[in-house]
């Protein structure tokens, strides 16, 4: 991977040539902001939405940056083209830089992982992690470098033969998965935890809410959800930029239906695929 091309502080360089100072708060304290995006047909899906969310995190951190929105767009596509990729996982990472240096801008583009087909045709298994989505933790709801708890929960899920873990707040409200938003389906209505749970304002989460309107599916993103709601649901699915929409076959030992994607989930998956093809046609 060291021979891939990355964008680092204004230049396209080999990955092995890019380095961050040991005095950078991103290295010492996880103080960084990032966004991970999906490039389809060589076009990043809802790039502007990703940059809006990134800017919100930067404001939250009070972090100085050098890169402009225009530079990030141009540099991301230059990096994508330099690596000759059309289906890719793209990430922009911004750090404060060392106290006596300049802020860091890093853009990476990698081939989209070969996600198992079974994730989408049969669904994934998830656990409920004992870790909690702390409402008082200001990093929740933002993409910062403080992701160790997420990685630990993902490891816990893998140890139990599952692909992801669901997070709840200390007072028992459903929040999200490790790197994905979560949706429930009950009586033909779609539910997702409110933004102020807190949860990450996922770009694909917003797209699913939009699609529900187009499909005449009622969607509630304002009502808090409980563990009882989760187990009473007829369908459950996860959404994220690169993994897309993954049906959930079971939570712990609780199975959904016949452990294959339900009818509402299938409709949303198909509509999302069409949306990607429709929107990812021209770079803007």
CATH number where 193 lies: 3.20.10.10
Do the beta carbons of residue 110 and residue 82 sit within 8 Å? no
pLDDT in tens, 85-124: 999 999 999 999 999 999 999 999 999 999 999 999 999 9
Same domain, 125 and 253: yes
Half-sphere exposure of 189 (CA within 13 A, CB side): 11
One domain for residues 136 and 226: yes
Question: What is the spatial distance between Cα 58 and Cα 144, in angstroms, rounded to a whole number?
Answer: 9
Q: Phi first, then psi: give them for residue 140, nearest 5 degrees.
A: -70, 140
Domain assignment present for residue 205? The answer is yes
Looking at the fold, whether 136 and 246 belong to one and the same domain comes out as yes
C-alpha–C-alpha distance, residues 158 and 149, integer Å: 14
Entry field: residues in the chain: 284
What's the burial of 33, exposed, middle or buried (CB within 10 Å: 0-12/13-18/19+)?
buried
DSSP-assigned beta bridge partners for residue 6? 13
Mean pLDDT (the chain) is 96
Question: Are residues 103 and 165 located together in one domain of the fold?
Answer: no
Q: Is residue 41 a part of any domain in this protein?
A: yes
Give pLDDT tens digits for 58-84.
Answer: 998 899 999 999 999 999 999 999 999
* Residues 135-152, mean pLDDT to the nearest whole number: 91
Q: What is the pLDDT of residue 92?
A: 98
How far apart are the C-alpha atoms of 139 and 154, rounded to whole Å? 18
pTM value is 0.96
Q: Among residues 87, 111, 135, which one ends one of the domains?
A: 111
Same domain, 100 and 138: no
User: Per-residue pLDDT tens for 260-282?
Assistant: 999 999 999 999 999 999 999 99
* Dist. CA 79–CA 58, nearest whole Å: 22
Measured between alpha carbons, how far is 7 from 160 in angstroms, rounded to an integer? 38
Tell me, yes or no, whether 42 lies in a domain: yes
CA distances from 217 to 186, 188, 209, 224, 225 (A): 11, 7, 9, 19, 18
Q: Read off the CATH number of the domain in which 101 is found.
A: 3.30.470.10
Together in a domain, 240 and 157: yes
Q: Is the pLDDT confidence value at 34 over 70?
A: yes
Domain ends where: 57, 76, 111?
Answer: 111
**Are residues 226 and 247 located together in one domain of the fold?**
yes
Torsion 242-244-250-252 (CA) sign: positive
- State residue 1's pLDDT score: 58
Domains of the chain: total = 2
- For residue 3, the model assigns a pLDDT of 83
Domain assignment of residue 250, given as a range: 118-279
Sign of the torsion angle spanned by Cα atoms 241, 44, 138, 152: positive
The verdict on residue 166 lying in a domain is yes
Taking only the tens place, the pLDDT of each residue in 207-229 is 999 999 999 999 999 999 999 99
* Structural domain includes residue 284: no
Which of 94, 111, 128 marks a domain boundary? 111
Give tens-digit pLDDT for 156-197. 999 999 999 999 999 999 999 999 999 999 999 999 999 999
> Two tokens at 252?
């712990």
- Arithmetic mean of pLDDT, 144-151: 93
Asked whether residue 159 is assigned to any structural domain, the reply reads yes
> In terms of domains, do 177 and 237 share one?
yes
**Same domain for 214 and 248?**
yes
pLDDT for 2 = 63
Residues 249, 130, single domain; the answer is yes
Residues 245 and 127 in one domain: yes
Residues 107 and 181 in one domain: no
- For residue 182, is it within any domain? yes
Spatial separation of the C-alpha atoms in residues 245 and 238, rounded to whole Å: 6
């Amino acid at each position: 991977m060291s021979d891939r091309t990355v964008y680092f502080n204004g230049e396209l360089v080999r990955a092995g040539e890019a380095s961050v100072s040991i005095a950078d708060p991103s290295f010492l304290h996880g103080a960084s902001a990032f966004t991970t995006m999906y490039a389809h047909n060589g076009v990043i899906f809802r790039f502007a939405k990703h940059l809006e969310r990134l800017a919100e995190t930067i404001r939250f951190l009070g972090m100085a940056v050098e890169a402009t929105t225009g530079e990030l767009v141009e540099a991301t596509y230059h990096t994508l083209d330099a690596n000759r990729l059309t289906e890719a996982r793209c990430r922009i990472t911004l750090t404060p830089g060392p106290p006596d240096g300049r802020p860091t801008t890093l853009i990476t583009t990698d081939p989209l992982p070969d996600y198992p087909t079974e994730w989408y045709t049969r669904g994934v298994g998830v656990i409920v992690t004992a870790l909690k989505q702390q409402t008082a933790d200001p990093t929740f709801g933002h993409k910062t470098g403080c992701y160790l708890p997420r990685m630990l929960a993902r490891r816990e899920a893998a140890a139990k033969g599952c692909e992801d873990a669901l997070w709840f707040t200390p007072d028992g409200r459903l929040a999200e998965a490790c790197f994905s938003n979560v949706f429930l389906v009950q009586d033909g209505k779609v539910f997702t935890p409110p933004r102020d749970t807190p949860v990450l304002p996922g770009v694909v989460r917003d797209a699913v809410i939009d699609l529900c309107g187009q499909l005449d599916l009622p969607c509630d993103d304002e009502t808090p959800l409980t563990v009882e709601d989760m187990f009473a649901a007829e369908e459950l699915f996860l959404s994220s930029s690169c993994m897309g929409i993954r049906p959930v076959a079971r939570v712990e030992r609780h199975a959904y239906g016949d452990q294959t994607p339900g009818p509402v989930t299938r409709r949303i998956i198909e509509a999302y695929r069409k949306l990607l093809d429709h929107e990812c046609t021209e770079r803007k």
